[in-house]
Amino acid sequence: MQQHRPVGTDHLHFMRDPLPALRLARWFWVPLLILGGVQYAAAATGLAMLQGFFQKTHTITAQFSQEVANHDGQIVKRASGKLWISRPGKFRWDYSGNNGQIIVSNGEKVWLYEPALEQATVQPLGKALGSTPAALIAGNDDLGQRFKITDLGQKDGLHWLLLHPKTGQDQGFTDLRMGFDAQGALRQMRMEDAFQQQTVLRFTHIKVNHPISAQEFQFTPPAGVDVLSQ
């Protein structure tokens, strides 16, 4: 039998920790933000690439890998999986493995399902995300209102942008870097928190503007799962 229990913010670590955080080891959303495969000339600026994503990218599917390193640079967590995005507001992150998680948004609510714990958490989309990377990914092109955006130029074959929250540490990270390839596809995201812990997401097998079934963004808790709701 499903049990619905109200919860406070203490249960929503995944809303504050760096992208898994969905107990951030699983930073769901985050990430996505911008995998757009819009074609650009090699000389295009990072800002132009970012604008092109919001203008021309409507759906995304991709494989991802995730690493979390401590302030000494030691890898403390690794994860991988698949993601789906349908703008605006819909996304799904499936983390593989025995301790995998599923994070699903239908544009109104966000579900975090942890099969190993037989537990699911649900919150309204806006309340759950705020100005997190997830909101960036599936949201509208209003980043300039919440972030100072700096074009860092090219490094290691990617064109980098720095997004610094205007309010300081925003939902668990103090800055967010995005690396685009020459074709305008987002290949990496790097987030750092106040403890100098860094989360790195890498994206491969990216498909842009391919049809995605509406069922990917629906979630019904299995029988017997404990449901925590705001």
Per-residue pLDDT tens, the chain, 230 aa: give them.
Answer: 554 444 433 333 333 343 333 343 333 434 444 354 443 333 457 788 888 777 788 898 999 999 999 999 999 999 999 999 998 889 998 999 877 899 899 989 999 999 999 999 998 887 656 555 565 667 666 667 778 889 999 999 998 999 888 876 555 678 889 888 888 888 998 989 888 899 999 999 999 899 999 999 999 999 999 999 86
Q: What pLDDT was estimated at residue 145?
A: 74
User: 10-217 has which CATH code?
Assistant: 2.50.20.10
Report the half-sphere exposure of 111 (CA within 13 A, side-chain side): 21
Q: What pLDDT was estimated at residue 22?
A: 38
Q: What pLDDT was estimated at residue 20?
A: 35
Q: Is the pTM of this model over 0.95?
A: no
Q: Which runs of consecutive H residues, i.e. helices, occur in 32-72? A: 46-56
- 66 and 215 Cβ atoms separated by less than 8 Å: no
Q: What pLDDT was estimated at residue 211?
A: 95
* Distance from C-alpha of 66 to C-alpha of 201, rounded to nearest angstrom: 5
